Chains A and B, each alone.
Chain A
Amino acid sequence: MAQHEIEITIAPDGQVKVHVKGAKGKTCMEYAKWLTQVIGKVKDQKLTSEYYEPETKAKIHLTQELRQQQ
């Protein structure tokens, strides 16, 4: 399970700052597109690369030994 977090700041004049955290590549851009449709026009946008929680990965090391039979 991955945690997706969105921080939305609505200024007194209605201007909005949106920070999408934890969503990877394509999913992240889908959130951005959806929020643009909900709120309004994009004035500025930048991608960030952040570390929140390392993905758990299982690694299996296989070693092969060749023994010369005598």
Chain B
Amino acid sequence: MAAFEFMFAALWTDLRYPERMACMGVVMILAPVVVGSWPVISAAVAAAAAGLGLTVAQEVAEDNKTLQQETTSSFEMDIDNSSIGAGQLVSGKSIVLDKNGITLRVTRTERGQLKVHASGKGHSQMELKSMADDFVRKVNQCFIYNRTVTELKSKQFQMVNEETLQDGTIRLQVRQWVD
């Protein structure tokens, strides 16, 4: 009976205010996909590095084998949701980042995915994994932010508000007037 009353109330509201029926919105939850050319992705890598306090040791450096030999522990992960255009980054070259004795090496795999290799003398696997995870999350966020803002500007959206919350979440509010 209560359900019937609710349905009747909703129908009555719709009949009284037909404009409410016409005005629709959509809420979506999206998983990020990092796809782009190397310059676009390297910009996100640089932004993520700056955000986490990592310093760029070498950009597109030659593969440094001596660095790997010196380290006692290392951790490696592929970023599944990523794709870098072929020919943008030559295999065997990478961006090298550094923080507190942990080195992060960002490379492109043969399948075109982004790969992060963390290594550091005297650091546990857990520490290296944690650093690599944080870095990958930050790259995702920076990439999506850059791409979204660029696309919104190209569609003539006006930025109404932009804020970064305490937990690092970025909130954007854009507006557009259409005929």
CB distance from A35 to the nearest CB of B (A): 7
Which chain B positions have C-beta within 8 A of A47? Answer: 24-26
Which chain A positions have C-beta within 8 A of B26? Answer: 18-20, 28-29, 31-32, 45-48
Distance between Cα atoms of A49 and B29 in the complex (Å): 17
> Residue B145 at the A interface, CB < 8 A?
yes
Cross-chain contact of A5 among B148, B173, B179 (Cβ < 8 A): B173
> Residue B140 at the A interface, CB < 8 A?
yes
Structural contact, A16 and B144, CB atoms closer than 8 A = yes
> Residue A62 at the B interface, CB < 8 A?
no
Q: Which size bracket describes the interface of A in this complex?
A: 35 or more
Cross-chain contact of A51 among B20, B32, B143, B160 (Cβ < 8 A): B20
Q: Which B residues are within 8 Å of any A CB, using their own CB?
A: 17, 19-33, 81, 137-141, 143-145, 147-148, 151-152, 155, 157, 160, 167-179
Tally of contacts, chain A with chain B, CB under 8 A: 169
Distance between Cα atoms of A14 and B167 in the complex (Å): 13
> Residue A65 at the B interface, CB < 8 A?
no
Using an 8 Å CB-CB cutoff, how does the interface string of A42-60 with B read, 1 for contact, 0 for none?
1111111111111101000
What are the 9 closest A-B residue pairs judged by CB atoms, nearest first? A14-B140, A40-B33, A14-B32, A12-B168, A44-B29, A48-B25, A13-B137, A10-B170, A8-B172
Structural contact, A43 and B137, CB atoms closer than 8 A = no
Q: Which A residues are within 8 Å of any B CB, using their own CB?
A: 1-25, 27-29, 31-32, 34-36, 38-55, 57
Which chain A positions have C-beta within 8 A of B81? Answer: 40
Structural contact, A43 and B30, CB atoms closer than 8 A = yes
For this complex, 18 residue pairs linking A to B, each with C-beta atoms less than 8 Å apart, are: A2-B178, A2-B179, A5-B175, A6-B157, A7-B171, A9-B169, A11-B169, A14-B137, A20-B25, A24-B24, A25-B22, A32-B26, A32-B28, A39-B30, A39-B147, A40-B33, A43-B30, A57-B19
